[in-house]
Amino acid sequence: MVPEKEWAEKKEVLTSPEIKVDAPLRMVETAFLASTGSLIWFISFYFPAFAPVLRIFFPVPIALVYLRRGKRAAWMAAVVSGLLLSVLMGPIRSLQFVMPFALMGVLLGVAWNRRVPWIVSISLGALLGTIGVFFRIWFISILTDEDLWIYIINQVTSIIDWIFLRLGILSTPSPFYIQIGALIFVLLNNFLYLFLVHIGAWLLLDRLGNPIPRPPHWVQVLLDYD
């Protein structure tokens, strides 16, 4: 049994005006940012002309939920955004957003909240993004009954052949090195993507009052940003 005095103190805390005001605000803000992330994905899919810019902000709304409302709210936002996209676009498109972008938003929220350096958060995000690429390849290959990895290998082979031709190398790379090259290509692509995500989040979230860790000095000099 809880002592009467202790129960009275707990009841006073739970019924305080701050708790009553904060709970609906937390719920509304989480739902709004979750729907914002879903809407960005929705617009980028049906209006491809805007996709290169909107893609940078895929994980940012959920990361912002983490910065403003904590871990539980961020996971709720990730789930809500997936459910909303399931209704709007179907479960297949929804799953492609959740893995990796919704999970990436939670990961970046954790990293930015703990003020880790950019190189750490970018590397972790790039690793998750790479896992997401292979997950989508596996998932779509099952749905279409075609091995999409072979398509990627063919594209990488063409790039390597072009590089060898420019360098005057007459040999042909082995399949093993071609697959290693494909993996490195995916990793570098995700690393560059996460760098752009950090740039966009840095410029945006500063103005929203939820700044992320400062970038390296050379980035601030390059962008002439104080």
**For position 123, what pLDDT does the model report?**
95
- Is residue 105 within 8 A of residue 74, CB to CB? The reply is yes
| pLDDT tens sequence across 79-121 | 999 999 999 999 989 999 999 999 999 999 999 999 999 999 9
Rounded-to-integer distance, Cα 85 and Cα 62, Å = 14
Rounded-to-integer distance, Cα 188 and Cα 220, Å = 22
Rounded-to-integer distance, Cα 54 and Cα 40, Å = 6
**For position 161, what pLDDT does the model report?**
79
Rounded-to-integer distance, Cα 176 and Cα 54, Å = 35
**For position 2, what pLDDT does the model report?**
43
Cα 78–Cα 83–Cα 87 angle in degrees, nearest 5: 145
Rounded-to-integer distance, Cα 59 and Cα 100, Å = 9
